[in-house]
Structure 1
Amino acid sequence: MKKRLAKSPNNIVLTGSLAGIAEWLGIDPTIVRVLFVIISFFSAAFPGVLVYIILAMIMPSGRKSRGNRNPYDNYNRNTRNENPYREQRKPAEKVDDDDWSDF
């Protein structure tokens, strides 16, 4: 199966374009980033910023599509609604406050 050239969904610094190229080539994203900066900095004929902007606009996103999910699924997710998949906490034990012998 051929790997598709797309932005990286996990390793993003600005847009994920260079990390996407690195994943497509099968090498470390840091190597691609360093090479891109070196070539952009030392070459007057290579407009690195312009190429990066074009890559960011042209390359497809590597994120999986969410399909037809309800946009309100995560609404109020920080409230104390019971989640059946969440591990229940251990009940607190009563502490005897009368023992101050450690001090």
Structure 2
Amino acid sequence: MCNAVGVMKLYRIFRTPVAARDAADFVLEHLRERGAVDYFSEERFKPVIELARHGAWSEAAKEYRSITGAGIKDSVIAAEIARRIVEFDKR
């Protein structure tokens, strides 16, 4: 039985992976009120999108940090989102 006493549940033993928590934090902080495409369409993010368009994710992350003052984790997440936006737009 699924709800039997003593049955081990994964969520009781382990927290969600750190990368998932970091991504969720980024979404809640930056994308809660609007979507990713809207967020990255701001004029200030054009250099990030251009770098992502050329596959330079590390440079896109660095540029995101210089624009926003974000930390490395957030900037890497942002660079990956920007890369995927560009990739999706190619379809």
Higher helix share: 2
Mark yes or no: TM-score above 0.5.
no
**Range of TM-score over shorter length:** under 0.3
TM-score (norm 1): 0.23
Q: Which structure has the greater CA radius of gyration? A: 1
